[in-house]
Amino acid sequence: MWKRVLTFLFVLVVGGVIVIAVAIVIGTGGRNGETGPTTPPTGSAAPQAGFSASPTDGLEPLTVQFTDQSTGDISDWAWYFDNDGTVDSTAQNPSHTYETAGNYTVHLMVTGPGGSNTMTKTNYITATQNLQDLQVGQSAQTSQERVTVISADRKTYYTWTLSSGHTYVKTPPAGETYIFIEVEIENLGVSSLYAAYWDFSISNPEGYRYDPQYYLGDDDFPSSQELYQGQKAKGLILFEVPEGATGLLLQYDFSDILTGPNIATWTLGF
């Protein structure tokens, strides 16, 4: 776009008098046929990433709705729901289901004509393990400890051998049978915790509770053992239940003096 100013000076003699006249012409024009003034394009607003989520904690599988709260001119969204470097969604307001218990860091990158920007929320989503309806062979876990039920067996007797070499046979009372549960407890994240077989119990469908019995074998689970971080305890726990009892559940109480009841439950399959 250009503007042109032309000035003309005229000198005339009229009746013996010298007259000086000035004419000014102002004109505008443009290139390639442009005839009007133009306005340079306004700069795009730089993006600023922001987001929220609901819920941010709950039992697995946990479905979370993410809401974009970014500002500026934005054309693309890239969500990393577990911050592993792989884009999980490019929708503006996606949802995601966390199938496995854990703490998850969420990362959002927004891009527009004015550039890109990111936001990361560390350990923003907490999916807690559903401690109910576990199966033999599975583990129940909190931030402090992991409990694994390795096996569950019915038996009508068991034997143990003394250091003298003499072998004894023990049978349950009339009308009852033995159930042996092999378990392992691991300290995951505290300076120390106590593992004890009395934290386990078996219940029937009517809610009746069977407590552990004293087991004489060398492979018994300790009655009480202090476990330091990273240490494990493993062994057998003995229960006496009525013959033919079905629908039995094994329970473990994760609670301590500072927390309320937190019961994990395994279906024994008989």
| Three-state secondary structure call for residue 31 | helix
Helices (H) and strands (E) in the chain, counts: 0, 22
Q: Is the pLDDT of residue 133 over 90?
A: no
What's the start-to-end Cα distance of the chain, in Å? Answer: 90
The model's pTM: 0.66
Task: Give the integer Cα–Cα distance in Å for 204 and 129.
Answer: 23
State pLDDT tens for residues 214-236: 888 888 998 889 999 999 999 99
Interacting residues of 4 by C-beta distance below 8 A, sequence separation 6+? 26, 27, 28, 29
DSSP code, position 42: P
Name every residue whose Cβ is closer than 8 Å to that of residue 180 and which is 6 or more positions away in sequence: 151, 152, 153, 155, 158, 236, 237, 238, 239
Better-scored residue on pLDDT, 257 or 74: 74
Mean pLDDT value across residues 55-67: 94
Which pLDDT belongs to residue 125? Answer: 96
Domain 134-267 has CATH 3.40.980.10: no
pLDDT-above-70 percentage for the chain: 82
What the block records as the tokens of 245 is: 């009892």
Following DSSP, what letter does each residue of 129-171 receive, concatenated? P--SSEETT-EEE-SSEEEEEEEEEEES-EEEE-TTS-EEEE-
In CATH terms, are 51-128 and 134-267 the same topology? yes
Average pLDDT, stretch 111-122? Answer: 96
pLDDT digits over 136-183, tens only?
A: 999 998 878 999 999 999 999 999 888 888 899 999 999 999 999 999
So where are the chain's domains? 2-33, 51-128, 134-267
Class of domain 51-128: mainly beta
Residue of higher predicted confidence among 13 and 161: 161
